[in-house]
Structure 1
Amino acid sequence: MLSDHQHAIFVTYAWDNQEHQDKVFHFVNFLRDPKGYDARMDKLVSQQETAISFQKMMHRAMTDYNKVIIVLSPKYKQRAHAFEGGVGTEYSMIINDIDTYPNKYILVSFSGRGDDVVPLSFASRDIIDLSNFGNEREWNRLIAKLNDTDLFDFVKVAEVRAEAIKQTPVLAPKSPEVVIKKLTYHITVGAVWRPI
């Protein structure tokens, strides 16, 4: 039987400033209603245990949830690169885990995809850009990743593969004597032979 966490999404982030924390809070609530996901974050989980261990919570987020959304920001990058605090520990776990579980982690940003927010180990990865919160295309990409669904329908591969049409070049017939004379001439004067 799946644990309660396996049906939920954990959203992790750095505490850049109050404005950023508020954005993450509203993002989590938006995922919950109207989007219908059991999205959780540290503030929600810490209300469920009076003396929660943040290290334990972070470990559970990485191990117990099927989906983890990582909100990138300048502070997240700074702490990730320094392997500092909870973000540093989490980042270390993620970079060791992300290739093993390629559909578990979803990178999002409220500040675009610039070098100021993207840690080096995430630089070549797909990042959902929610800097424009109303961007339906990016939201659709996020929903597809959360649901493990495809964005594009491709037709089924045909049962019979196409064959190339073979062509044989047609040369004007020449008598063997003409070919031999021209070949001899080219060899005699040292020119490169080329077909006639």
Structure 2
Amino acid sequence: MNLNMNKKVFISYSWGNKEHQEWVVNLGKRLMSNTVLTILDKWSLKDGHDIHEFMESMVKSDDIYRVLIICDKNYKEKADGRNGGVGTETQIITPEIYNNQKQEKFIPIVVERDENNNPYLPIFLSSRKYIDFSNEEFFEDSYEELLRNILEAPAIPMPKLGTNVPLYITESVINNTPTNSIIRTLENQIKKHPEKINSYSSDFLDAFLDALWEFEFKSNAYDIDTFGEELFNNLISYKILREDFIQFLNITTKPENNLDVDELINFFEKKLIYNRPKDESTSWNSNNYDNFKVIFQELFLYTITICLKNKNYSLVGDLFHSKYYFKSNYGQIETKRFTEIYEYHQNIENYILRKYNRSSGFGHFVITNLSDKVSKNDFIFADTLCHYIGELFSNGHSLDNWFPATYVYKETGNNDFFEKMSSERHFNKVKNIFDVSSIEELKKLLKDYSESKNGKNRTGYGRGYYIPFIHELIQVESIGQNR
């Protein structure tokens, strides 16, 4: 595909608060790094320049291919009321939209919605197609849509007119990956032969592991920014395969299917094999296998999230408390807990901190690339629960823990898992997660943990942002007191 690079865009926005300004600047920096010459007042408007003349020249210039209008509540109010710089800019843009310019030059970028989930669009843009950036977990999808628009590289280009009649009957024209082929028949096969679920699951997971090698990361970059961007893009590229895995979990982890937890444990035990190349006949760089470390951690979080969603608490408990026999491709066996799947991903952390000024690189990646098959709050809760169970059973070993990298993205509207612990029925459903058989055992576990943490600092991100202890979320004495 021949891309139309070196396009010039102008970003129109209302200054608003510091966080909003930073978001706009980061968008501009990202576009610049992806070959789009971006005109933004923060770096394009010099001292002494006439602000109104600058705006007008940007809007009317033939050199400006796109005008990106960042729409939030503040921008809408100023545009509709013709207030301030935004109001002046609106008076310049409005006739350009209706009279002079091609319809596609002005692109609304929605970054905020009202209480009814309606986008904040000024009146003069209310009927225009916009790109939705209002959900942070789908940022990467929205950014790709924007970049494709600017570079004239549509995700689904118009196909060429064919010259041959398709062979619908005699030949199949569908080309699927092995995992996708298995997924399309898995649910029906399990319904017909429920006793074969573990065999079907093993077939899928083996096919998935084979397909994962197609995403082996090879980079010759030495600087953080270039290497980080290549790593980030590699991780995004495997999303299609990841969605097959998530669909597999949605089907197989329903309690009635009786999936053997060993199928999942055996899958995650393969993690160490992906710490080095499949073929070691040539030299290799260990950093090039960081993507697989991120992938296995992300997939474990999706596994816990979907098991919880399916209320398969027994499976969650087994995943938390079973031993994992990690086998390297040198044949060595390491017996570890589930926390071995967690890692601090130095390269992705450094890249995202420098690129987006985010305190959690892994958290930023997984939340902005979240599957639409799970909710953000459920995913964050699963990550947090991994942290709590990791700590409860770490025996004081600081390296045997799980840091909840996504917790910083937690919103209001808590998961009610802990609040329901006062219900005896709820306790009996989830007790396997805590590896206890009685209410008194759980109370003792939490009390002992509370005493061990007395006077110690909470886990956190710095800057005063900390994660509460689990005994602060569960009223220990009220566990199981209600029916």
TM over 0.5: yes
Distance in 2 (alpha carbons) for counterparts of 1:155 and 1:95: 35
Distance in 2 (alpha carbons) for counterparts of 1:67 and 1:52: 22
C-alpha contact 1:62 1:93 (8 A) present in aligned 2: yes
C-alpha contact 2:60 2:96 (8 A) present in aligned 1: no
Task: Give the AA of the match of 2:68.
Answer: I
In the other structure, the counterpart of 1:63 is 60
Q: Alpha-carbon deviation of 1:116?
A: 6.0
Secondary structure of residue in 2 paired with 1:21: helix
**Structure 2: segments with no counterpart, 5+ residues:** 1-5, 164-483
Among residues 148, 154, 163, which one is paired with 1:144 in the alignment?
148
Q: Alpha-carbon deviation of 1:30?
A: 1.2
Distance in 1 (alpha carbons) for counterparts of 2:128 and 2:16: 22
Q: Alpha-carbon deviation of 1:146?
A: 0.7
| Residues 95 and 157 (structure 1), Cα distance of their counterparts in 2 relative to 1, 3 Å cut | farther
Query: RMSD over aligned Cα, in angstroms?
Result: 2.4
Among residues 114, 124, 129, which one is paired with 1:126 in the alignment?
129
Q: Alpha-carbon deviation of 1:41?
A: 0.6
Q: Alpha-carbon deviation of 1:92?
A: 2.3
- Asked which structure has the greater CA Rg, the reply is 1
Q: Alpha-carbon deviation of 1:156?
A: 4.2
In the other structure, the counterpart of 1:169 is none
Distance in 2 (alpha carbons) for counterparts of 1:93 and 1:63: 9
In the other structure, the counterpart of 2:108 is 107
Distance in 1 (alpha carbons) for counterparts of 2:28 and 2:122: 22
| Higher RCO structure (Cα 8 Å, ≥6 apart) | 1
Give deviations 1:69-122, integer Å, cap 9, x for gaps: 111111100001111122112112222222432121111122258546211221
Task: Give the AA of the match of 1:52.
Answer: H
In the other structure, the counterpart of 2:37 is 38
Say which structure is richer in helix. 2
What is the TM-score of this pair, normalised by structure 2? Answer: 0.29
Give deviations 1:19-74, integer Å, cap 9, x for gaps: 111111111111112x221112111112xx33111111101110122211111111
| Residues 17 and 107 (structure 1), Cα distance of their counterparts in 2 relative to 1, 3 Å cut | same
Task: Give the AA of the match of 1:102.
Answer: Q
Q: Alpha-carbon deviation of 1:144?
A: 2.1
| Residues 55 and 133 (structure 1), Cα distance of their counterparts in 2 relative to 1, 3 Å cut | farther
Give deviations 1:127-175, integer Å, cap 9, x for gaps: 111232653332222112212343323344579xxxxxxxxxxxxxxxx
| Residues 151 and 95 (structure 1), Cα distance of their counterparts in 2 relative to 1, 3 Å cut | farther
In the other structure, the counterpart of 2:120 is 117
| Residues 155 and 27 (structure 1), Cα distance of their counterparts in 2 relative to 1, 3 Å cut | closer
Secondary structure of residue in 1 paired with 2:57: helix
C-alpha contact 1:16 1:75 (8 A) present in aligned 2: yes
Distance in 1 (alpha carbons) for counterparts of 2:150 and 2:7: 11
The answer on 1:52 being equivalent to 2:49 is yes
Distance in 1 (alpha carbons) for counterparts of 2:32 and 2:158: 31
In the other structure, the counterpart of 1:14 is 14
Secondary structure of residue in 1 paired with 2:35: coil
Secondary structure of residue in 1 paired with 2:131: strand
Distance in 1 (alpha carbons) for counterparts of 2:118 and 2:145: 22
C-alpha contact 1:16 1:74 (8 A) present in aligned 2: no
Secondary structure of residue in 2 paired with 1:11: strand
Task: Give the AA of the match of 1:80.
Answer: A
In the other structure, the counterpart of 1:23 is 23
In the other structure, the counterpart of 1:135 is 139
Distance in 2 (alpha carbons) for counterparts of 1:112 and 1:139: 18
C-alpha contact 2:110 2:119 (8 A) present in aligned 1: no
Distance in 1 (alpha carbons) for counterparts of 2:140 and 2:119: 24
| Residues 138 and 18 (structure 1), Cα distance of their counterparts in 2 relative to 1, 3 Å cut | same
Distance in 2 (alpha carbons) for counterparts of 1:9 and 1:43: 14
* % identical aligned pairs: 24
C-alpha contact 2:132 2:142 (8 A) present in aligned 1: yes
In the other structure, the counterpart of 1:95 is 94
Distance in 2 (alpha carbons) for counterparts of 1:45 and 1:19: 20
C-alpha contact 1:16 1:73 (8 A) present in aligned 2: no
Task: Give the AA of the match of 1:147.
Answer: L
**Structure 1: segments with no counterpart, 5+ residues:** 1-5, 160-196
How many matched pairs? Answer: 151
